[in-house]
Amino acid sequence: MREISLPNGRKVPSLGLGTWHMGERGASRAEEARALRLGVELGMTLIDTAEMYANGGAEEVVGEAVRDCRAEVFIVSKVLPYNASRKGTIAACEASLKRLGTDHIDLYLLHWPGSHPLYETVEAFEELRAAGKIGGYGVSNFDTDAMNAWEQAAGAGNCQTDQVLYNLTRRGIEWDLVPWARNRAMPLMAYSPLEQGRLSAPELDDIGRKHGVSAAQVALSWVLRDQNIIAIPKASNPNHVRANRSAADLVLDSDDLARLDAVFPPPRGRSALEVL
């Protein structure tokens, strides 16, 4: 598995595991935990979750999945913006740690911009980092203007990632956010890299047949083509987990990329940051 370096020097796999919508049904939790554990065994050792997902239920699923392999896993979680005051952030982190069954979160993110002053969130993140409860911090769903404001509050080099919506149909970040992050050697983290299974085009099928893979694997490989982007697709089915892992080994050639650009064109100007 190709690795990507965060600004603090930590290396993480370019392909991780998402958990959005996990933990919503008690009957599915054991299966979801097994899928995550399989992903870890296959080298996808980064697991992304959040206190928002199933009101903490996804974090509990992650905790179950990594119970016997915590040292091998890089856990990402997020604080909701309305909890992101200094005291609220610390309380939210403590609650996440309890649900995850761990004493530290490797990367802790502000889920999206909110009303609390950024400096309060940064102060809380720094306090948590000093206490060893988080390894690093960053943000999610921040556009370039919000990133500039965050950088003023946190200082240069202290944001480890910006987790944003990115896939073949959501390419707006390529205009400004991708170069902004690349100039700072800060990787972006792509959520919903398969548009939650809604991606469809004859060209995806054609390219898939050419390489002996599925259309979804082509779409995921396209996201992973960028050396500065980490993809975190969610998969609760073992076959989907294995298929996602295989996509990391697929290399699209220049003809493939040109065909995909023709169907899913890159942005021609700045646009509002898309979110799900």
Q: Could you tell me if residue 269 is inside a domain? A: no
The count of other CB atoms within 10 Å of the CB of residue 110 is: 29
Q: Which pLDDT score, from 0 to 100, does residue 185 have?
A: 97
Tell me how far apart the alpha carbons of residues 241 and 176 are, in angstroms, rounded to a whole number: 32
Tell me how far apart the alpha carbons of residues 87 and 96 are, in angstroms, rounded to a whole number: 14
Q: Could you tell me if residue 141 is inside a domain? A: yes
Tell me how far apart the alpha carbons of residues 206 and 212 are, in angstroms, rounded to a whole number: 10
Residues tagged in the binding site annotation for substrate:
111
| Known catalytic residue at 53 | yes
Could you tell me the residue range of the domain that residue 237 belongs to? 9-263
Q: Could you tell me if residue 243 is inside a domain? A: yes
Using 50 as the pLDDT threshold, list the residues of the chain that sit under it: none
Q: Could you tell me if residue 271 is inside a domain? A: no
Q: Which pLDDT score, from 0 to 100, does residue 26 have?
A: 86
Report the number of distinct structural domains present in the chain: 1
Q: Which pLDDT score, from 0 to 100, does residue 225 have?
A: 97
Sign of CA dihedral 244, 250, 255, 257: positive
Q: Could you tell me if residue 2 is inside a domain? A: no
53, 137, 166, 191: the active-site residue: 53
Q: Which pLDDT score, from 0 to 100, does residue 27 have?
A: 83
Q: Could you tell me if residue 89 is inside a domain? A: yes
* Continuous H helices in the chain: 29-41, 57-65, 86-100, 118-130, 144-154, 177-183, 202-211, 215-224, 238-247, 254-263
Q: Which pLDDT score, from 0 to 100, does residue 146 have?
A: 98
CATH number reported for the structural domain that contains residue 65 in this entry: 3.20.20.100
Residues tagged in the binding site annotation:
111
Q: Could you tell me if residue 274 is inside a domain? A: no
Q: Could you tell me if residue 100 is inside a domain? A: yes
Q: Which pLDDT score, from 0 to 100, does residue 203 have?
A: 97
Q: List, in sequence order, every residue forming a beta bridge with 164; answer none if it has no partner.
A: 190
